[in-house]
C-alpha cells in the first residue's frame, strides 16, 4: 500500500511527510480513498473544508460561476467580490476587504501595511511584535514572523523587524517594547493553531487593545485558522469585544 502510493506520485516535490493514503472523493464528513475505503474526515483539509465535501449548495454555485467566467483579472470591477466584501464588512465591523489566495498572502499584506503605516509616521525601521509558537505561513517574511525554529531552519537570513514575546503576559510585552519608538504593530493569532491549541485570554486581548490605542500601534490578527465561524462567532476575537 505504502509503495503503491509513493510510486503514484514521483513527480511532486518531496516537501511534506505524507501519510500513505490517497483520497479519491468525499461527501459530507466522510472521505473515500483510491482503494474504496471510507474514513470519517476529522481533519477537513486542515480545517479548510468547513462545509464538508460535495456540499449540495456549494458545488452547483461553483459550477455555475465557472460556467459564466473563470477569471477576469483585477483590471475590471468584480461585482460578486463586492457582494462578498460587503457581507464580510458587516460580519467583522471593519471597513474594507483585501482578497488574496492564501493565508500567507493575507499576512504579507498585513506586514506591508504595518511597515507603510510606520513609514508614513516617519519611522524608518518599523518593528512588529509577534509571538512565541505563532504560525503565520511559509513565505520568507511570514516564516520570519512564525515562532517555530523548525520552520525557519535552512531559510536564513530571516526578515528583520520582529520582536517576539510570550502569549498572555502583558508585562512581558511592555518590557520588550519599553522606550522603543519603532514599534508599529502587534500581530497574533487569537487562538494559535499550528503551535498547539493556545488561546489568548479574553482579558489579555482587552489589555492588548488598550495598549495599541495608547501607543498608536496597529492590532493585526491572523484568524486563518480560528476565524470564519470556527469558534461559534464569525471571528474569535469577537469573544473579547475588540476589533483589530
Ligand X SMILES: Cc1ncc(COP(=O)(O)O)c(C=O)c1O
Closest CB to ligand X among 31 and 141?
141
Q: Which of 111, 128, 135, 190 binds ligand X (CB under 6 A)?
A: 135
Shortest CB 142 distance to ligand X, Å: 7
Q: Identify which range of 4-12, 32-40, 133-141, 204-212 contacts ligand X by CB under 6 A.
A: 133-141
Q: What is the 3-state secondary structure (H, E, C) of the chain?
A: CHHHHHHCCCCCCCCCCCCCCCEEEEEECEEEECCCCEEECCCHHHHCCCCCECCCCHHHHHHHHHHHCCCCCCCCCCHHHHHHHHHHHHHHCCCCCCCCCCHHHHHHHHHHHHHHHHHHCCCCCCEEEEECCCCCCCCHHHHHHCCCHHHHCCCCCCCCCEEEECCCCHHHHHHHHCCCCCEEEEEECCEECCCCCEECCHHHHHHHHHHHHHHCCEEEECCCCCCCCCCCCCCHHHHHCCCC
Nearer to ligand X, 103 or 147 (CB): 103
Binder among 89, 102, 180, 210 for ligand X (CB under 6 A):
102
26 binds ligand X (CB under 6 A): no
Q: Which stretch binds ligand X (CB under 6 A): 10-18, 92-100, 132-140, 159-167?
A: 132-140
Among 189, 190, 200, 209, binds ligand X (CB under 6 A): 189
Give the x/- contact pattern for ligand X in 33-72, rule: CB under 6 A: -------------x--------------------------
Amino acid at each position: 500500500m505504502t509503495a503503491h502510493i509513493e510510486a503514484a506520485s514521483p513527480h511532486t516535490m518531496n516537501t511534506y511527510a505524507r501519510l500513505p493514503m490517497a483520497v479519491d472523493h468525499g461527501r459530507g464528513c466522510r472521505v473515500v480513498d483510491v482503494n474504496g475505503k471510507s474514513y470519517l474526515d476529522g481533519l477537513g483539509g486542515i480545517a479548510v473544508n468547513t462545509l464538508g465535501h460535495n456540499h449540495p449548495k456549494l458545488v452547483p454555485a461553483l459550477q455555475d460561476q465557472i460556467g459564466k467566467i473563470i477569471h477576469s483579472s483585477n483590471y475590471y470591477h468584480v461585482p460578486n467580490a463586492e457582494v462578498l466584501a460587503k457581507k464580510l464588512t458587516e460580519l467583522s465591523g471593519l471597513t474594507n476587504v483585501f482578497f488574496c489566495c492564501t493565508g500567507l498572502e493575507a499576512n504579507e499584506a498585513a506586514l506591508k501595511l504595518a511597515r507603510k503605516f510606520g513609514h508614513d509616521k516617519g519611522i524608518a525601521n518599523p518593528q512588529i511584535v509577534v509571538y512565541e509558537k505563532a504560525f503565520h505561513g511559509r513565505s520568507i517574511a511570514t516564516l520570519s514572523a512564525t515562532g517555530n525554529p523548525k520552520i525557519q531552519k535552512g531559510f536564513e537570513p530571516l526578515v528583520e523587524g520582529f520582536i517576539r514575546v510570550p502569549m498572555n503576559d502583558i508585562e512581558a510585552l511592555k518590557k520588550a517594547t519599553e522606550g522603543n519608538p519603532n514599534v508599529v504593530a502587534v500581530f497574533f493569532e487569537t487562538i494559535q493553531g499550528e503551535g498547539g491549541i493556545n488561546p489568548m485570554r479574553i482579558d489579555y486581548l482587552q489589555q492588548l487593545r488598550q495598549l495599541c490605542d495608547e501607543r498608536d500601534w496597529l492590532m493585526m490578527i491572523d484568524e486563518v485558522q480560528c476565524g470564519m465561524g470556527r469558534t461559534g462567532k464569525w471571528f474569535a476575537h469577537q469573544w473579547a469585544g475588540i476589533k483589530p
